[in-house]
């Protein structure tokens, strides 16, 4: 019966925000990937999977399931950018 858990015993090396992480499952949701990052990625940020080449990267929604492969790269980006927010009114 120990063979049934063999698939779950494998760690998949991925990277989130330039930090190495070990996924313990072959597929994880966006929410699970957010919590895997250290520190965990807050709801103020969107999560993206880096796609090699010149195409757009894939936005990963919390409920979306991602089939993980060794070496995949993910990154977070502030959901709402407010240009000039740090400039005080004179």
- Average pLDDT of the segment spanning 66-75: 97
* Residues in contact with 78: Cβ distance below 8 Å, sequence separation at least 6, in sequence order: 44, 45
Fold annotation for 2-78:
Ubiquitin-like (UB roll) (3.10.20)
Which pLDDT score, from 0 to 100, does residue 25 have? Answer: 94
Which pLDDT score, from 0 to 100, does residue 5 have? Answer: 46
Domain chopping of the chain, boundaries: 2-78
Query: For 81, what's the count of Cα atoms within 13 Å in the CB-facing half-sphere?
Result: 5
First to last CA, the chain: 71
Render pLDDT for 2-55 as a digit per residue (tens, 0 to 9): 444 454 458 999 999 999 999 999 999 999 999 999 999 999 999 999 998 888
The sign of the CA dihedral 49, 38, 63, 65 is: positive
Question: Within 10 A of 15 (CB to CB), how many other CB atoms are there?
Answer: 15
The alpha carbon of residue 27 and the mean position of all alpha carbons in its chain are separated, in whole angstroms, by: 12
Q: Indicate whether 67 pLDDT > 70.
A: yes
> What confidence tier does 87 reach under pLDDT thresholds 50, 70, 90?
low
Which pLDDT score, from 0 to 100, does residue 72 have? Answer: 97
Distance CA 63, CA 12 (A): 20
The residue that leads in pLDDT, 54 or 65, is 65
């Amino acid at each position: 019966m120990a063979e049934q858990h063999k698939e779950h015993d494998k760690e998949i090396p991925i990277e989130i925000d330039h930090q190495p992480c070990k996924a313990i499952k072959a597929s994880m949701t966006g929410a699970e990937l957010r919590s895997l990052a250290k520190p965990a990625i807050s709801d103020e940020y969107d999560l993206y999977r880096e796609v090699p080449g010149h195409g757009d990267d894939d936005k990963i929604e919390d409920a979306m399931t991602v089939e993980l492969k060794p070496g995949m790269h993910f990154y977070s980006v502030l959901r709402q950018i407010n240009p000039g927010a740090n400039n005080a009114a004179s």
